[in-house]
Amino acid sequence: MKGHLHLTCALQGDGTSALRQQSFCAPFHLSKPHRDAGALVVNVVNPTAGLFDGDELELVAHVEPGARLVLTTPSAGRVYQSRSGRPAKVSQTVRAAADSFVEFLPEPLIPQAGAIYAQQTSLELAAGAELLFFEWLSPGRVASGEVFQYRQLAWQTDLQRDGRLLARERYCLEPSQPASLAALTDHFPQAHYLGCFWISPHPLPRAALAALEGPGVYLGWSPLAAGGWTAKALCADALTARRLLGGLRTAFYAAMEREPPSLGRF
Amino acid sequence: MLPDWLPWLLQVSDSAFPSGAYAHSLGLEELVQAGVVGDADALEAYLHRQVLPNLLALELPLLAHGHRCAAHGDLAGLQALDEELDAWKLAAELRAASRQLGSRRLALTQQLDADPLVSAYAARGAPCHHLAVCALELRHLPVEAAACAWAQQAIAGSATAAMKLMRLGQERCQGMIRRAVLALSPQLAAACQVPPHRAGWFNPLLEIASMRHAQAAERLFIS
C-alpha cells in the first residue's frame, strides 16, 4: 500500500492554529484536529492493522510562521512479518518556519517477529522555530514473548536548523547480528529506547530531568553541537518508558512556560 | 623496501605521542561505574560487541571517505565530513573529546612536518575532529593501513583506560587488544569500501553513559 499525508498548519488571524491544507490517502486518516493549550493537536490514525512489507508511507508536515502543531498518533505503530523479504518504508518530513512550534510524539513502534522496516525522518527547522520530538522503539510484542525477533530495522534521522545539520542518526538493527542490539540489551534485556530532541531558546530543565531518574531508567541529556538538546533513555519495560516519556514531556513544556496539550495518555 | 610512511606511522601511533588520548575513556568510565562493564570479561565483551562494530559500521567507512578526500586534496570534502561528525556525536563530551584530540594532533603534526595541505586545513576553521585529522595526516598511507592504525588506537585506548578503572593487568590487557585486532582485521578492507551515506551505528548506551559522565561529581577521565 502506498499512502501519503501532506498537511500545512498555519496561524490564523485570531491567533489560533489551523490546517490550511491537507491531503491524505489510505492508510493515513486524520481524526478531527482540536485545539488545546494554544496548539492544534492532530492525531494521525492508521486504521489498518499496521504496516506490512511493501508498504510505502510518506508524511510531510509544514508548520507556518507563528503556528503551533502537535502531531501524534493514538496507538502504537505495528510492523508485521515481512513475507516477501521487502521492508515496510516510512518517510517523514517536518518543516517548521520561524516562530513556529511543533511537537512530534508518535506512540511506540512495535516491530513484530520477522518484520523488516525502514524509516527516514527529516526535521527541517528555520531559525527561531521550536521543536519537541520524541521517538519510542519497543523490543517487540513483549507480552507474547516476542522480544527482538524482528529481522531488520533501518533508521535514519536528520535534524537541521537554518540549513545546518544539528544531529544525524543512522543505524540498522538486526537481531541475527546480536552486536547490533548490544547497546540496548547490555543494560536491560528487554530495553525500550526513547529518543528526544528539544530545540528551544529556553534553559534546560536540569532539575526536573534529574528527578526522572529511577529504577529501570538509564537517562542522559546533552547539548547538540549548534544549539538545542537531545535526551536519550533506555527503559527496563514499557510502563517505565511511558512514565518517563510523560515526565520528559511535562519537564520540557514547563521549561517553555506552557501547558502541554492533553493527549489523554500520560 | 621500507615504505616511506612507516616511520611517521610508528611515531604518531606510539603511546608516547602526546595526543592527550590517555586522559579520555570515551564513556567507558561511566559504563564501569554503572556496572555495565564490571570486570575484564565484560570489558572484552564490550570491545567485541560495541567498539568493533562501531569501528566497522561507522568510523572506518567515514575515515576511508576522509582519507580519499585528503588524498585528492579535497579539503572542502574533508571539512564537510568534519562538520558532519559534529552532528553524529550527540553527546557533548564525546564531541569535545574528539575535537580536542584532533586539534592537538593537528598542531603537533604541523610542528613535526611542514605539510602545506595540513597547514591549509588548519587555516580553514574546521572542527578538527580526531577522525578527520587522522584521515588527513595519514593520507599518504594505503587506506587499509590508515584504518588499521585508527582501529588499533581506538581498541588500545579503551583497553588501557580500563586498566585504571578495574582490576586488569598488562598482559590481560594486551591479550584483549590482540584478540580484538585479529577479529577486526579480516573485515577491515570491506569496511573501507562502505560508502559514507551507508555508514552508521546505534549506541545509545555509550551516548547516555557519556552524557551522564559529563555530570558526574567525581571522575578520573575527561570523557
> How far is B21 from B31, CA to CA, in rounded Å?
18
A185 touching B (Cβ < 8 Å): no
Phi, psi of B128, deg, nearest 5: 65, 50
Does the distance separating the beta carbons of B48 and A220 come in below 8 Å?
Answer: no
Residue B13 binned pLDDT confidence (cut-offs 50, 70, 90): confident
Angle at the Cα of B93 from the Cα atoms of B89 and B94, rounded to 5 degrees: 40
> How far is A192 from A205, CA to CA, in rounded Å?
23
Burial class (CB in 10 A: 0-12, 13-18, 19+), A145: exposed
User: Which residues in chain B touch residue A183, judged by CB atoms under 8 angstroms apart?
Assistant: 50, 202-206
Residue of A nearest to B86 (CA): A225
CA B40 from chain center: how many Å? Answer: 21
Residue of B79, B81, B99, B202 best to disrupt the A interface, most CBs of A under 10 A: B202
Closest chain B C-alpha to A52 CA, distance in angstroms:
24
Nearest Cβ partner for B87 among A168, A178, A183:
A168
Output DSSP code: residue A144: G
Nearest Cβ partner for B49 among A173, A182, A221:
A182
For chain A, what is the radius of gyration of the CA atoms?
18
Residue of B39, B85, B205 best to disrupt the A interface, most CBs of A under 10 A: B205
Residue of A nearest to B88 (CA): A168
Nearest Cβ partner for B91 among A180, A186, A222:
A222
A184 touching B (Cβ < 8 Å): yes
pLDDT digit of tens for each residue in chain A (266 aa)? 899 999 999 999 999 999 999 999 988 888 889 999 999 999 998 878 899 999 999 999 999 999 999 999 999 999 999 999 999 999 999 999 999 999 999 999 999 999 999 999 999 999 999 999 999 999 999 999 999 999 999 999 999 999 999 999 999 999 998 888 999 999 999 999 999 999 999 999 999 999 999 999 999 999 999 999 999 999 999 999 999 999 999 999 999 999 999 997 77
Does the distance separating the beta carbons of B207 and A232 come in below 8 Å?
Answer: yes
CB neighbourhood size of A182 (10 A): 20
- Give residue limits of the domains in chain A: 2-255
Angle at the Cα of B70 from the Cα atoms of B139 and B198, rounded to 5 degrees: 100
Closest chain B C-alpha to A211 CA, distance in angstroms:
14
A166 touching B (Cβ < 8 Å): yes
Chain B contact residues (CB < 8 Å to A): 34, 36, 46, 48-50, 52-53, 57, 83-84, 86-93, 95, 199-212, 214
Q: Give B84-131 pLDDT, tens digit per residue.
A: 999 999 999 999 999 999 999 999 999 998 899 999 999 999 999 999
Among the residues of chain B, which ranges form H helices?
Answer: 6-13, 28-33, 40-46, 52-54, 60-71, 75-88, 92-112, 116-122, 130-137, 143-162, 170-193, 204-213
Tell which residue, A244, A243, A241, A266, has the closest CA to residue A137: A241
> How far is A133 from A228, CA to CA, in rounded Å?
12
Does the distance separating the beta carbons of B88 and A220 come in below 8 Å?
Answer: no
Length of chain A: 266
- Nearest 10 degrees: Cα torsion A182, A183, A185, A188: 160
- Provide the ipTM: 0.95
CATH class (in words) of the domain with range B24-213: mainly alpha
> How far is B187 from B23, CA to CA, in rounded Å?
29
Residue of B nearest to A228 (CA): B90
Tell which residue, A76, A68, A15, has the closest CA to residue A45: A76
Q: Give B136-190 pLDDT, tens digit per residue.
A: 999 999 999 999 999 999 999 999 999 999 999 999 999 999 999 999 999 999 9
- Give residue limits of the domains in chain B: 24-213
> How far is B139 from B151, CA to CA, in rounded Å?
16
User: Which residues in chain A touch residue B62, judged by CB atoms under 8 angstroms apart?
Assistant: none
A41 touching B (Cβ < 8 Å): no
> How far is B179 from A239, CA to CA, in rounded Å?
40
**Which SS3 state, helix, strand or coil, does residue A205 take?**
coil
User: Which residues in chain A touch residue B208, judged by CB atoms under 8 angstroms apart?
Assistant: 218-220, 232-234
Tell which residue, B126, B129, B141, B99, has the closest CA to residue B12: B141
Q: What DSSP assignment string belongs to A94-141?
A: EEE-TT-EEEEEPPPEEE-TTBEEEEEEEEEE-TT-EEEEEEEE--S-
Length of chain B: 223
Interface of A with B in 193-222 (CB under 8 A): 193, 195, 218-222
Does the distance separating the beta carbons of A165 and B84 come in below 8 Å?
Answer: yes
